[in-house]
Structure 1
Amino acid sequence: MTSKIIGVGNYIPPETITNLFFDKHHFINKNGESLKEANDIIARKLKEITGIEERRYASEHQVTSDLGLIAAQKAIENSKIDPETLDYIIFAHNFGDVRFGTVQSDSVPSLASRVKHLLKIKNNFCVAYDVLFGCPGWIEGVIQANAFIKAGIAKRCLVIGAETLSRVVDIHDRDSMIYADGAGAAILEISGDDSGIQSHLSASYTLNEKDYLYFGKSYNNESCPDTRYIKMDGRKIYEFALVNVADAMKKCMDASGYSIDQLDKIIIHQANEKMDEAIVKRFYQLYDLPMPENIMPMVINKLGNSSVATIPSLLTMILNGELPTHEIKEGHVVLFASVGAGMNINAFVYKF
């Protein structure tokens, strides 16, 4: 017995932020020194390394739970279910609701509770809670929902991934250019055939890797020392992900019972185009195979890195026929994988 996805939805914010947005930014290194390169060169290198040309920011009146609500409403509409039949609402995020122009995170009550309230669900036994698991949070929520369904304590679950990373970035840190806002959601229920989740895997590397992504002070020494922003050690993350994510993907694939030649798509967290490509190439090298063409859909060039929202949002786009060069048909086998703060890694193999 397993669970399957019966509906998906996403919300891509309306405000398009091109790399020109950062032209007047004063970028500083972690030592408090101004970067020597001109901003247009920094932006060009960003595109070469990450593939990002644009990203989306939420409107000033929106917070993370607002984005998650819209994605959830679309998933409910797509699945044609009565929201009163939901047993769990699991909301993956990392920074709560941060209102525009502020630096304070608001996570009480939980974002899942807020979405349940706005959906006007009366069923008190629809349990609403949040997951904080870095960028792999949505996949982890799916894995938890699958466990509830397999255990017989839930029949139907809504899993949301949403984030407004634009509210927690240090404007003096060039890494801030990769981050974006967005939301995606999916509804899972018990599968009556051989479709659905075939295998899954999760891991947390904390002994030496805990602080590869962290909250730290601004690189501008004149800024408030008590204000913290999202920070990362990009080189260490790249080296960590290249080896450990590919290995985890192989373990998950092998546990699914499907062979590598039966894999139709890989939907990987949209973190960095070059990094993702290197991970997938290494994954296929573990099978002594070259990376197939068109195996890995990418939208990071236009949408940036919206953390937990990247995978469910991309899945929705594919299923809705919004990516002309990619499609998922009935019977297709898809490997989902993510890596992020923790450092956490997870994956699942799914048959549509």
Structure 2
Amino acid sequence: MPQIYSKIIGTGSALPQRATDNQALADELGLRGIQTSDEWIRTRTGIEKRYLAERGLTTTQLAERAAKSALWDAGVDPSEIDLIIVATTTPDMIFPSTACQLQKLLGCSKGAAFDLQAVCAGFIYALTNADALIRTGVYKKAIVVGVDIMSRIVDWDDRSTCVLFGDGAGAVILEASNEPGILAARLSVDGTLDENVLGCKAFINGGEVHGDPYVRMDGQHVFRMAVSSMSESAKAVLSDAGLSVEDIDCYVPHQANLRIMQKVAQKIGIDENKMVVTVNRHGNTSAASVPLALDNAARHNDIKKNDIVLMQAVGAGMAWGSVLVKWTKENNQ
């Protein structure tokens, strides 16, 4: 029986309508006595603006927009989809899952749908799982979505975190293939680096919210851990695929902080000219970060057919992972 692989045949993304640049954000925070500036944010993060969800916009709606964009790009009808995985930390409700709600909105009628939670590393985890499920031969076409509305769980009185995050969604369509598209993947976690490093500790009990409902982060610890984990993960996944860093044509890292991205690229040995950068426009969109950047690169033809693409992310847990892809999709015209 021939080996089954998976390949990416379409990408899509979605953003809220409202873009907030650093100066506008600094002005809003200043009204509450919190001092920051465009220069302070830009220097420390590389972020210039982010998109923030308007009241009434849901995680499922953003996921739907990104999924439909990816379906259109791939030329795939929703009836062909038999697997939906949604990576999100900010679902609209505890259950049913965002993936089940997305299936209903798209009009898909077969297969499986479930959510996956690995925070900023969520899309990498979801993509790896979708690839593994397609390789079983049971599933033929999958939608993998990374989506988060982080603005609803950040503390807008905490300058160290509120300036970092934005909202958005990104999606890919995976299809079973006789030739490898996804070449190798590595997932890792260190549970000892728990919610005290990066987390949101709230939970519901007896109809009440207990614990701190906002994102808290030890920024210096996260910086060090992100650089070391992603650089080591990149070396491991390249070794798994029998490739070297020189074979990488396009690098799509988690768009959390430009300084982290540059440091990781330097440690891996990747030319920064090969690195996709959208953090300046989107901020850290958590699970949406990598697929948003990937879609942006694909639509601007920064990724060409047969290119080797390295995608990476790191998030709370601490969880991290890398996926190495051979791009089989034709360029956009």
Normalising by structure 1, we get a TM-score of: 0.85
Partner of 2:220, secondary structure, is: helix
Aligned partners of 1:131, 1:225: CA distance in 2, in Å? 23
Partner of 1:180: 166
User: Is the 1:27–1:173 contact (alpha carbons within 8 Å) kept by the matching residues of 2?
Assistant: no
The reply to whether residue 113 of structure 1 matches residue 100 of structure 2 is yes
User: Is the 2:245–2:268 contact (alpha carbons within 8 Å) kept by the matching residues of 1?
Assistant: no
Aligned partners of 2:31, 2:219: CA distance in 1, in Å? 16
Q: What is the letter of the counterpart of residue 323 of structure 2?
A: F
CA 1:254–1:142: 2 relative to 1, 3 Å: same
Normalising by structure 2, we get a TM-score of: 0.90
Aligned partners of 2:210, 2:63: CA distance in 1, in Å? 31
What CA deviation, in whole Å up to 9, does each residue of 1:288-329 have, x standing for no partner?
A: xxx4241111111111110111111111111111xxxx7111
Aligned partners of 2:21, 2:99: CA distance in 1, in Å? 31
CA 1:262–1:250: 2 relative to 1, 3 Å: same
Superposed counterparts of 1:88-237, under 5 Å: 88-97=83-92, 106-123=93-110, 126-174=111-159, 175-194=161-180, 196-215=181-200, 228-237=213-222
Superposed counterparts of 1:233-312, under 5 Å: 233-284=218-269, 291-312=270-291
CA 1:48–1:329: 2 relative to 1, 3 Å: same
User: Is the 2:194–2:316 contact (alpha carbons within 8 Å) kept by the matching residues of 1?
Assistant: no
Indicate the RMSD between aligned Cα atoms, in angstroms.
Answer: 2.0
Partner of 1:287: none
Aligned partners of 1:159, 1:24: CA distance in 2, in Å? 35
What CA deviation, in whole Å up to 9, does each residue of 1:208-262 have, x standing for no partner?
A: 4453111158xxxxxx985511111110000111112101111011111222211
The reply to whether residue 349 of structure 1 matches residue 307 of structure 2 is no
Partner of 1:315: 294
The reply to whether residue 39 of structure 1 matches residue 36 of structure 2 is yes
- How far residue 24 of structure 1 moved from its aligned partner, in angstroms, is 4.0
User: Is the 2:223–2:260 contact (alpha carbons within 8 Å) kept by the matching residues of 1?
Assistant: yes
User: What stretches of structure 1 of length at least 5 have no aligned partner?
Assistant: 29-33, 98-105, 218-223, 285-290
Identity of aligned residues (%): 30
User: Is the 1:91–1:159 contact (alpha carbons within 8 Å) kept by the matching residues of 2?
Assistant: yes
Aligned residue pairs total 316
User: Is the 1:145–1:159 contact (alpha carbons within 8 Å) kept by the matching residues of 2?
Assistant: yes
What CA deviation, in whole Å up to 9, does each residue of 1:245-294 have, x standing for no partner?
A: 1011110111112222111111001000001111111112xxxxxx4241
- How far residue 158 of structure 1 moved from its aligned partner, in angstroms, is 0.7
Partner of 2:168, secondary structure, is: strand
Q: What is the letter of the counterpart of residue 84 of structure 2?
A: I
Greater CA drift, 274-283 or 205-214: 205-214
Q: What is the letter of the counterpart of residue 56 of structure 1?
A: Y
Superposed counterparts of 1:7-46, under 5 Å: 7-20=10-23, 21-25=25-29, 38-40=35-37, 43-46=38-41
Q: What is the letter of the counterpart of residue 63 of structure 2?
A: G
Partner of 1:211, secondary structure, is: coil
